[in-house]
């Protein structure tokens, strides 16, 4: 295995989203506009209800997938496909907005901590105007691999022969939540063609002798695997990888298409109430 090394460290930017929720964005900032096929990564985490209580009322998406992983708290999802979902700690949601979804993501708590990640995954041109789809999985449905000094939750892709619950067929995305004890190591094979990143959110870790500071996005360079070693207090991080699409990205707010005309069409469709074309059934458990 040729382990990947750290290529770029991206600091997060505090951004106000939805009706005034503070999120910490890494992919989708001036330092890293996107990491094909990933368009955006927001880490949200707050003990202060003022920072999350307003939630994300009805808003549109077109042209990509949103992947939400809850760490703490309780959010309720409702969408134009007719889905109502409860996002609970450890649960995950994959929403293929494709041709158009209008949804809301609202807190079901008025106190305590709310934390998680939202990742936007691009869709290939041929899929952008396809029917929406939705997968939601309860915390208990997510496979967990317990090894000495290590716990790995397999959200998407495969680890130690366990398959994740979420399939992202267009990018073959891997999405692992890894907890390591003090000084413990972790390694994983990664297809050489995939773009990959690590985001440490508890403790500290290093890869190839370089520190991976907490709350920074570490973009990995070329290679066919990754090795991470936890610091003296252990570490918890997400490891995400996916096949780049290699297509033009034209993004305007919640619409991500391949050309400017398609973005203008998305606005026109939204304003005329034509954004939502299809409802789709939910899969999950
Ligand atoms: Fe949304």
> Would residue 122 count as lying in a domain?
yes
State what percent of residues in the chain have pLDDT above 90: 93
> Would residue 107 count as lying in a domain?
yes
Q: Compute the distance from residue 59 Cα to the ligand 1 centre, in Å.
A: 6
> Would residue 285 count as lying in a domain?
no
> Would residue 188 count as lying in a domain?
yes
CATH number of residue 187's parent domain: 2.60.120.10
Tell me which residue has tokens 């106000």. 16
> Would residue 28 count as lying in a domain?
yes
> Would residue 284 count as lying in a domain?
no
Q: How far apart are CA 179 and CA 108, in angstroms?
A: 27
Q: Kindly report the pTM of this predicted structure.
A: 0.95
Q: What is the pLDDT of residue 279?
A: 61
> Would residue 256 count as lying in a domain?
yes
Domain containing residue 239:
6-84+91-279
Q: How far apart are CA 154 and CA 163, in angstroms?
A: 7
Q: What is the pLDDT of residue 277?
A: 78
Q: Compute the distance from residue 247 Cα to the ligand 1 centre, in Å.
A: 23
Q: Compute the distance from residue 128 Cα to the ligand 1 centre, in Å.
A: 16
User: What's the mean per-residue pLDDT of the chain?
Assistant: 95
> Would residue 43 count as lying in a domain?
yes
Q: Compute the distance from residue 249 Cα to the ligand 1 centre, in Å.
A: 19
Strand partners, 59: 103
Strand partners, 199: 217, 238
Tell me the average confidence (pLDDT) per consecutive run of 10 residues in the chain, 285 residues long.
Answer: 95 92 95 98 93 93 98 95 94 96 94 96 97 95 97 98 95 98 97 98 95 96 97 97 98 97 97 81 60
Q: Compute the distance from residue 150 Cα to the ligand 1 centre, in Å.
A: 32
Q: Compute the distance from residue 66 Cα to the ligand 1 centre, in Å.
A: 7
Q: Compute the distance from residue 120 Cα to the ligand 1 centre, in Å.
A: 10
Split into its structural domains, the chain has a count of 1
Q: Is 161 exposed, middle or buried (0-12, 13-18, 19+ CB in 10 A)?
A: exposed
Q: Compute the distance from residue 45 Cα to the ligand 1 centre, in Å.
A: 17
């Amino acid at each position: 295995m040729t382990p990947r090394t750290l290529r770029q460290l991206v600091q997060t930017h505090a951004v106000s989203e939805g009706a005034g929720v503070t999120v910490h964005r890494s992919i989708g900032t001036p330092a890293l506009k996107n990491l094909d096929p990933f368009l955006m990564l927001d880490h949200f985490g707050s003990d202060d209800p003022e920072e999350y209580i307003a939630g994300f009322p009805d808003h549109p998406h077109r042209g990509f997938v949103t992947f939400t992983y809850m760490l703490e708290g309780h959010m309720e999802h409702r969408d134009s496909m007719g889905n109502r979902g409860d996002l609970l700690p450890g649960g995950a949601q994959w929403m293929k907005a494709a041709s158009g979804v209008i949804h809301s993501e609202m807190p079901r708590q008025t106190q305590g901590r709310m934390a998680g990640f939202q990742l936007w995954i691009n869709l290939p041109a041929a899929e952008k105007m396809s029917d929406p789809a939705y997968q939601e999985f309860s915390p208990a449905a997510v496979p967990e691999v317990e090894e000495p000094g290590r716990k790995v939750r397999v959200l998407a892709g495969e680890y130690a022969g366990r398959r994740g619950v979420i399939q992202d067929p267009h990018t073959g995305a891997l999405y692992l939540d890894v907890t390591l004890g003090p000084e413990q190591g972790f390694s994983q094979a990664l297809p050489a063609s995939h773009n990959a990143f690590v985001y440490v959110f508890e403790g500290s870790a290093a890869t190839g002798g370089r520190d991976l500071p907490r709350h920074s996005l570490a973009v990995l360079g070329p290679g066919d695997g990754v090795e991470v070693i936890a610091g003296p207090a252990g570490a918890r991080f997400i490891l995400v990888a996916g096949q780049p699409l290699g297509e033009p990205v034209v993004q305007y707010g919640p619409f991500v298409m391949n050309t400017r005309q398609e973005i203008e069409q998305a606005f026109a469709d939204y304003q005329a109430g034509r954004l939502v074309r299809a409802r789709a059934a939910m899969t999950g458990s």
